[in-house]
């Protein structure tokens, strides 16, 4: 039992790292492959969505806004959608049942 409790955190860390490792910024919409993922949203269905773009924390205290960003499903080559620099958006994950 002690071995299982010791190995379980290592397994969880390894699994989490493997999921995050597959999240990359897509090359479409003019984003270069060298751009780093800013935020990863982990969904309840086990999938993850990466956000690549610009973060702004100066608009409102305690709130984060994004502009000129793209969302991409982790493990996919193409983006879901692109939002340009004319918008500043707040993002959140919502659960629908």
Q: Among 46, 71, 44, 68, which residue's Cα sits nearest to residue 55?
A: 68
Q: Is 7 helix (H, G, I), strand (E, B) or coil?
A: helix
State the Cα–Cα distance between residues 79 and 35, nearest whole angstrom: 14
Query: Which pLDDT belongs to residue 51?
Result: 92
Instruction: Give me the sign of the Cα torsion angle 51, 55, 60, 61.
Output: positive
Each residue's pLDDT expressed in tens, for the chain with a length of 97 residues = 444 433 334 334 334 444 445 788 887 766 655 678 899 999 888 999 999 988 888 778 888 899 889 999 999 888 899 998 888 888 877 777 6
């Amino acid at each position: 039992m002690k071995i299982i409790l010791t190995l379980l955190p290592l397994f969880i860390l390894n699994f989490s790292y493997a999921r995050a490792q597959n999240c990359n910024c897509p090359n479409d919409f003019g984003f270069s492959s060298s751009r780093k993922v800013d935020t990863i949203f982990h969904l309840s269905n086990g999938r993850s969505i990466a956000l690549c773009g610009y973060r702004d924390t100066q608009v409102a205290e305690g709130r984060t806004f994004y502009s000129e960003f793209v969302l991409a499903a982790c493990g996919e080559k193409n983006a879901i959608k692109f939002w340009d620099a004319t918008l500043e958006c707040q993002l959140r994950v919502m659960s629908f049942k």
